[in-house]
Amino acid sequence: MNGITIGQYIPGNSWLHRLDPRNKIILTIIYMVLIFIIPNIYAMIGLLGLYILLYLTTRLPIKRFIKGLKPILFLLTFTFILQVVYTKSGDLLYTFHFHFGLYQLLMIIALVLIYFFTAKYIPLRFLYLLTIFILCFVVQLFDFKTLMFGHYNFEIYSGGLIQGSFIFLRIVLMVGITSLLTFSTMSNDINNGLQSILSPLAKIKVPVGTISMIFSLTLRFIPLLFDETNKIMRAQASRGVDFAEGSIKSKVTQIISLLIPMFVLAFNKADDLANAMETRGYIVGEKRSRYDELKLQAVDFVAVGVTIILLAGVITLNVLL
């Protein structure tokens, strides 16, 4: 729960904070498209380098970005391993000769038991699980030549490593680019920017204001609800509830004890917000005035120019390849 960073705004005065929210939304969409049309790993590494440069110039805390990657760490690892295992293109880099017998089986069982008895004392549990998983394969490299059940080989190809790294970087950049938008833009600005972008749809009776308000409120409530969930979990942990241990039946009971106050809290927050909006004169569908008028500045045109050059370069690269 602590790793959720989407929707969290970080105050600042960087060039990214000063960008027009309409510009930031459009540029975010363009960069997401760029991620999917980049043809090879080398261009993806170049885009990653550009992203790192942009992130450092915004003076946003790097720890916040790394923290945002924690919830998808399992997805990143699983995707990379899957590509390495099933992609058999390119040059053969190395072949692992695995041996499976009684001694290997006993060692794997011992590693599993060690994990279950010690996992609750390890802070980085996923990395600990990954280490145990790797050790289960390492013990199969030993050939005891007695009581063997069988042998098998695992081949690593250059194409698998390249494809796994390519998808790994693609997911990281997707999370990073969307994080830049939420880190540097308040929910009200996202609402105003999205409403301005979608304003042409209002001519065909599309409720643009309502849609943009729902989107901005959703972004605002994501970190709020996760913070409240952490408070509930800590309160229940102080009463002896352990969400990481116990049987399946006890885990179901613990999840129910967490979900019920979560739903009650969410409905109460929504009711309070509705009352606050009604008190301030908000009416669904009515035209709203704005305290801050959106205006493009010089930094917006520079950002658009750089993006157009980058997009043209990627399209040219695709055509040449």
pLDDT tens digits for range 73-124: 888 888 888 888 888 888 888 888 888 888 888 899 999 898 888 887 777 7
DSSP secondary structure letter of residue 268: H
Query: Tell me: the pLDDT tens digits for 6-37?
Result: 557 788 888 888 888 888 989 999 999 889 88
Amino acid at 246: G
What pLDDT is stored for residue 190 in this prediction? 80
Measured distance CA(223)–CA(240) in Å, rounded: 26
Residue 247 has pLDDT above 70, yes or no: no
Residue corresponding to tokens 């027009």 = 20
What pLDDT is stored for residue 170 in this prediction? 92
What spatial distance separates the first Cα and last Cα of the chain, rounded to whole Å?
43
What pLDDT is stored for residue 166 in this prediction? 92
Residue 220 near residue 195, CB atoms below 8 Å: no
Residue 184: which pLDDT band, with cuts at 50, 70 and 90? confident
Residue 245 has pLDDT above 70, yes or no: no
Query: Tell me: the pLDDT tens digits for 185-220?
Result: 887 788 778 878 877 887 787 777 777 777 777 777
Query: Tell me: the pLDDT tens digits for 287-315?
Result: 666 666 677 788 888 888 888 888 888 88
Residue 286: which pLDDT band, with cuts at 50, 70 and 90? low
Burial 251-287 (b: 16+ CB within 10 A, else e): eeebeeeeeeeeeebeeeeeeeeeeeeeeeeeeeeee
pTM: 0.74
